[in-house]
Amino acid sequence: MQELSLNILDVAQNSIKAKATLITIKIHKNTMSKTLLISIEDNGCGMSQQQAEQVVDPFYTTRTTRKVGLGVPFFKMSAELTGGTFTIQSELKVGTKISALYYYEHIDMMPVGDMASTMLSLISVNPDIDFIYYFSVDENEFCMNTQEMKTVLEGLPVNSNEVLTFIKNFINENQAEIENSK
Amino acid sequence: MKSLAELQAIRDKMKNSMNVRDDNGNKIRVVVGMATCGIAAGARPVLNGFTEEVAKRNLDNVTVTQTGCIGICQYEPVVEVYTPDGEKTTYVKMTAEKVAKVVTDHLVNGKVVSEYTIGSVAK
Ligand code: FES
């Protein structure tokens, strides 16, 4: 994968498969410690300890189709390559939280990439799942929340073209503003 | 900061222009494979391309959805099109550029774009 946003999209596929109704994605940049913390948390069916280990293992597959993608192993590797760390917490019937910590000045740091496109892909084909996306740099934060948007929309589809265009601009503009506020 | 106030205006505009969706079963389903290999090969712009193109042309009878692993990594990004006549077409090695042609020829005019299908690529 050339950018972390694709990795995030891939990891979120596991949450969709786990029948999550809420998926929260957080990106937090700390300019003091030069770290980037990315987490993907869901309220899906969760995993047993053994299943969680399999999800992290790139060599674990079931027959010819992969029930669990390679998203998590890649995610873990991308963080560890920068000297960072990876954690997975999961509980059956409660959900799963996956976090990776990156040292973003490391030479092997991948760019975060196009998060607006990732969120759009997720929202457009999963209108019944709620997505919350936080992006923050130090204490400046912005948040996109489809639950809030659905309240405003009063029953109109969140994945209609006009709304998706709005979401794209909403993320791109607000994220740029946070990134440039110093 | 861009706020949700703008979304209210969008909602009001949509309310006035919403046409009743026809749910007569004549639906075309576009399914994009979103497994790791698909995403790595470029499924994201393909998926977003379909969503955009279908919306732009007001194709109310088309739904775009996603699936996981289709099992043919080497042909990703893979897109399956299911038409109401029960036919399934598998498009392989899709790109955002190919999307427009599939939408015009297949989804609108009912003509399969055979050069993008698995049958012709696998030869
Ligand atoms: S892992 Fe490639 S199609 Fe399933």
**Contacts with A3 from chain B: Cβ below 8 Å:** none
DSSP-assigned beta bridge partners for residue B64: B30
Is residue B2 very low, low, confident or very high in pLDDT (cuts 50, 70, 90)? confident
- Residue A83 to chain B, least CA–CA distance (Å): 23
> Which residue's structure tokens are 């775009």?
B64
- B5 has a pLDDT exceeding 80: yes
- Mark yes or no for CB contact A152/B4 under 8 Å: yes
B42: left (phi over 0), alpha (psi -120 to 50) or beta: left
Taking the centre of ligand 1 as the mean of its atom positions, its distance from the CA of residue A84, in whole angstroms, is 28
**Contacts with A152 from chain B: Cβ below 8 Å:** 4, 7-8, 11
Pocket test for ligand 1, best of B32, B76, B94, B118 (most atoms within 8 A of CB): B76
Contact (Cβ atoms closer than 8 angstroms) between residue A119 and residue A112: no
Query: B44, B51, B62: which to substitute to probe chain A, counting the most A Cβ within 10 Å?
Result: B44
- Mark yes or no for CB contact B7/A166 under 8 Å: yes
Contact (Cβ atoms closer than 8 angstroms) between residue A10 and residue A119: no
Q: What is the ipTM of this complex?
A: 0.92
Residue-wise pLDDT tens for chain A (182 aa)?
A: 789 999 999 999 999 999 999 999 999 999 999 999 999 999 999 998 888 888 888 777 655 566 667 889 999 999 999 999 999 999 999 999 999 999 999 999 999 999 999 999 999 999 999 999 999 999 999 999 999 999 999 999 999 999 999 999 999 999 999 999 86
pLDDT the model gives residue B23:
56
Three-state DSSP at A155 gives coil
Is residue B106 very low, low, confident or very high in pLDDT (cuts 50, 70, 90)? very high
Is residue B83 very low, low, confident or very high in pLDDT (cuts 50, 70, 90)? very high
- B87 has a pLDDT exceeding 80: yes
Distances (CA, A) of A156 to A47, B57, B63, B65, B66: 34, 19, 16, 19, 21
- Residue A97 to chain B, least CA–CA distance (Å): 19
Strands (E), chain B: 28-33, 62-67, 79-82, 88-91
> Which residue's structure tokens are 């998060």?
A115
User: Which amino acid, one-letter code, is at B65?
Assistant: T
- Mark yes or no for CB contact B2/A169 under 8 Å: yes
- Residue B44 to chain A, least CA–CA distance (Å): 7
Nearest Cα to Cα of residue A75 among A12, A121, A150: A12
Three-state DSSP at A109 gives coil
Residues with CB under 6 Å of ligand 1 are A 65-66; B 35, 37, 69-73, 76
Give the model confidence (pLDDT) of B13-63 as tens digits. 888 876 655 555 679 999 999 999 999 999 999 999 999 999 999 898 999
Please state, as a whole number, how many other Cβ atoms lie within 10 Å of the Cβ of residue A166.
Answer: 19
- B1 has a pLDDT exceeding 90: no
**Contacts with B35 from chain A: Cβ below 8 Å:** 13, 66, 69
